[in-house]
Structure 1
Amino acid sequence: MMGKIPKSGKSFKGCVEYCMLKEGAVVLDADGLRIGEVAHTIADFNMQRKMRPGLGQAVGHIALNWSPEDAPKLTNDLMVSIAKEYLKKMKISGTQVLMVRHHDTNHPHLHLVYNRVDNEGKTISDSSQRWNNVKVSKALTLKYSFHMAKGKDRVNRQRLKGADKVKYQIYDQIKAILPTVKSVDELQKQLGKQGISMLYKYKSGTVEVQGVSFGKGEYQFKGSEVDRSLSYGKISKTITDNVREKQKQQPKERIAQLKSLVDQLREVIQQSEHETHYLNQEPQTQYLQHEPQTKYLDTPNPKIDISDDVDDEAIYGRNRQRKGQARTNTR
């Protein structure tokens, strides 16, 4: 559960019509108001504000939002009961209050419209209201075991409007810049480039900083209102811790760089030695001994066909005659 507080308004007509005429709107409770006709409700609010005609922004408006996980157990009676407890803790009492439930989103929510001019004509203060809203919302969430959102990262920025939208813009910018700066003054300069002002609160009569606030456009928030981690003390500590951590990492980075350089040099030296060894080797001439090769044709031995009609004596006689001629010639 979380309360969403727009900037205090001037017109009950616009606020009441938005709440009561929304499609599916249901008036759950009203105190000191007629709710039969929207015009009657507006007239009742304006009648009481005349007790403090100098108060321009007399319209109080708060939207109580629950997580979709809480929907099954959120009856109308329970929402009204929690809303009354919320208003009491916020010190909004003894005045006209209108409670209207809307069903236009997937998360249950209840609109509270109240008169900042109470029943006795006194003004209900809205100072520190946003900071108190955070504390009260968290306390009720824990008390009733409602779903607790895990940090601002899960908030749907697209649905935010007005002060809440600006607050989350400031939060996102600070969180993005904070890890990169070395001092609070540097943070102030970097935020200034993003259109975000950073103002210091000093201890009376001294230059000692007690707090910090951030502004953008028409809105201004204390650091702790933007987020509990963004008070002046916590911002200073975060920057100091970041600087120290970077200083610790620098020697390690240098050692890693030197090690990388040594490895590169070693590789170059090894490459150079390899090339030198290769150049100093005597050239080796390889002699190929080519032996003359005589190619022999494999001719099949002719077969002598010895048949029965061949005269053996004639064959052998011829051989003897040839041998005799060869001897004569040699003489």
Structure 2
Amino acid sequence: MIGKIVTGKSFKGCMLYLHEGRLQETEELQQQEMEKKQAQVIAYNQCFGNKKELIRQFIEVSKLNPNVSKPVFHLTISLAHADAGKLNNQQKADIAASLAKEFQFDRNQYVAITHADTEHEHLHIVANRIGYDGKTASDSNSYKHMAEFCRKMEQAYKLEKVLSPNRFLKPEQRVAQGQRIDQRKEVLKKHLSKAIKQCKNVQQIRQYMEDKGYKVEQGRGIAFTDQQNVYFKGSQVGYSLQTIENKLIQEQQLKQELKQQKQQQEQKLALERQQEQIRQQKRSRGHGMHM
């Protein structure tokens, strides 16, 4: 289990993202994105309604403390691939309730949302840091608290154990930084490098990566989800959409140059063979005259 927590400014932006997915270029693609997400609210706390009603309710309560610039808590719990299907919605709602208590927003507004778009299950909790009493839930040491919480839940629900980040471990438990290279990123980079060498355009690269088991999302940028359902933006591994397009152009130019060099070399060899044949013919004629 891996946990992530961020604070934000916009309840609307967070809610729309979780209900509708990433912003797409057309209404048709946006509808497909929503259908793929299949967002489902499995728990409400101190609030209720559809996404528009929830947004309005959260904003109204956040006004009780207008000095807080980031009233949004967005917490994500990602289950390991091996744990797919182990938890039902009630258990996920219970985890959300435990998480709310851990971060002391259990008396505040929050909703727990699941998605059915991947085998790698995610639980999202959107919470109002501002309570009905105007007090604000602290985000101090939130990453450490989240790591500790995940270890507790793994034990409680018999889930696959995941190492906490180095900075949250005791010195004797820490792994050398050089040993913590994210192999998933390295594998993704190798696949993209090979794809660029073999493909002529972005569409072919998408097909190549999908054949390798990745889900590819392309809009204003490009992103990849591997077979463990870990999501990477292309820019995170040095392959933004613009970079890929530039590298494709460079690769095609290089192939053209190599093709021209090969043709020139073949022409040179053909010319040398022709010249050698002419020299042999001259030597043969000279030898015949001397006889």
TM-score of the pair, normalised by structure 2? 0.51
Structure 1's 156 and 33: CA in aligned 2 closer, same or farther, altered over 3 A?
farther
Question: 1:31: how far off?
Answer: 1.2
CA distance 1:148–1:96, change in 2 (3 Å): same
Amino acid at match of 1:95: N
Change (3 A) 1:73 1:11: same
Aligned match of 1:56: 69
Deviations 1:301-324 (A, max 9, x none): xxxxxxxxxxxxxxxxxxxxxxxx
Corresponding position of 1:233: none
Q: Which residue of 1 aligns with 2:17?
A: 18
Query: CA contact under 8 A between 1:98 and 1:113: conserved in structure 2?
Result: yes
Structure 1 position 54, deviation (Å): 1.1
Q: How big is each residue's C-alpha offset from its partner over 1:75-117, in whole Å with a ceiling of 9 and x where there is no partner?
A: 1111111221122123332100011101222211111000010
Contact residue 2 and residue 66 of structure 1 kept, 8 A: yes
- Unaligned ranges ≥5, structure 1: 167-331
In 2: Cα distance, 1:83 partner to 1:161 partner: 25
Q: Deviations over 1:125-151 (max 9, x none)?
A: 101001111111111112221011368
Note the C-alpha offset of 1:4. 1.2
Residues 172-183 of structure 1 correspond to what in structure 2 (within 5 A)? Answer: none
Alpha-carbon distance in structure 2 between the residues aligned to 1:29 and 1:156: 33
| Sequence identity (%) | 29
Question: 2:123 is paired with a residue of what secondary structure?
Answer: strand
Q: 1:31 aligns with which of 37, 42, 45?
A: 45
Q: How many equivalent pairs are there?
A: 162
1:32 maps to amino acid: Q
Amino acid in the other structure paired with 2:74: H
Does structure 1 retain, via aligned residues, the 8 Å contact 2:8–2:72?
yes
Match in the other structure for 2:4 = 4
CA distance 1:150–1:34, change in 2 (3 Å): closer
Q: Confirm or deny: 8 A CA contact 2:46 2:107 kept in the other structure.
A: no
Mean Cα deviation higher: 85-94 or 42-51: 85-94
2:96 to 76, 83, 86: 83
CA contact (8 A) 1:2 1:65 kept: yes
**Cα distance, 1:18 vs. partner?**
1.0
- 1:110 aligned residue: 123
Q: What is the alpha-carbon root mean square deviation over aligned residues?
A: 2.4
Residue identity in the other structure for 2:41: V
Matches of 1:66 and 1:47, distance apart in 2: 33
Structure 1 98/128 Cα, relative in aligned 2: closer, same or farther at 3 Å? same
Structure 2 stretches of 5 or more lacking a match? Answer: 22-33, 165-179, 186-223, 225-229, 238-291
TM-score (normalizing by structure 1): 0.45
Aligned letter for 2:120?
H
Using the alignment, how far apart are the partners of 1:45 and 1:86 within structure 2?
A: 19
Give the conservation status (yes or no) of the 8 Å contact 2:39–2:114: yes
Q: What amino acid maps onto 2:5 in structure 1?
A: I
